[in-house]
Amino acid sequence: MMQCGLFVTAQAYQANVTRGIFTHFIREEDTGMTSGRLDDELKRMSVIAGQITPGCLILFNESFAGTNEREGSEIAGQIVRALLDAQVKVFYVTHRFGFADRFRRQHAPTTLFLRAERQPDGSRNYKLTVKDPLPTSFGEDLYYRLGGWLEEDKVLTQATDAATLDGEPSRNSQARQTSETAATTPDVPGTR
């Protein structure tokens, strides 16, 4: 907002001014079928790469989602590394855990990760906090909140979670418990 000359919705804010702002957001699929979604994303990124210079800012939103997790994560990682090496500031919104986690492991001192806060009951307050990426977006919270007609699924899931195999909780139960613990465990804020 500040970059566009608008008021910033904060009590205090400090930032540098960039030379230019670029965006790379997902688009609807090409209805003319002249190219696939990933092809379109790569072409648009190529145009940006030809214009962007050091000191610029680029905003990504779920970019390179036109392919699978592994390939999309690799493409995004290579592009972001090249942009950072060229002294371009990058903001990237993604649900690709492989991409985010690799960046966290390889570039922790220079990378800041933000997550929407999630309360223990699954509710949200829409505040962003500095926290490491998680392998879940907690889509199940939304699934059950919006799908009252899906209560039978919830009962089945709970029954499955309660089941034991050789005295151990089911895999789904362990995964959900791990996600819940990770979501409520305080993290040490990263540095920039």
pLDDT reported for residue 154: 56
Cβ atoms of 93 and 62 within 8 Å: the answer is: yes
For the domain spanning 19-111, the CATH number is: 3.40.50.300
Q: Encode the chain (192 residues) as per-residue pLDDT tens digits.
A: 787 788 888 888 888 889 999 999 987 766 776 778 888 899 999 999 999 999 999 999 999 988 898 999 999 999 999 999 999 999 999 988 999 999 888 887 888 899 888 888 878 888 889 988 888 777 777 777 776 555 565 566 666 556 544 444 444 444 444 333 333 333 434 433
Strands 124-130 and 114-118: antiparallel
Sign of the CA dihedral with 29 first, then 30, 34, and 38 last: negative
Angle between helices 151-162 and 171-184 (to 10 degrees): 100
pLDDT reported for residue 93: 92
Count CB neighbours of 142 within 10 A. 12
Cβ atoms of 57 and 91 within 8 Å: the answer is: yes
Question: What are the sequence ranges of the domains in the chain?
Answer: 19-111, 135-192
CA 188 from chain centre, in angstroms, equals 19
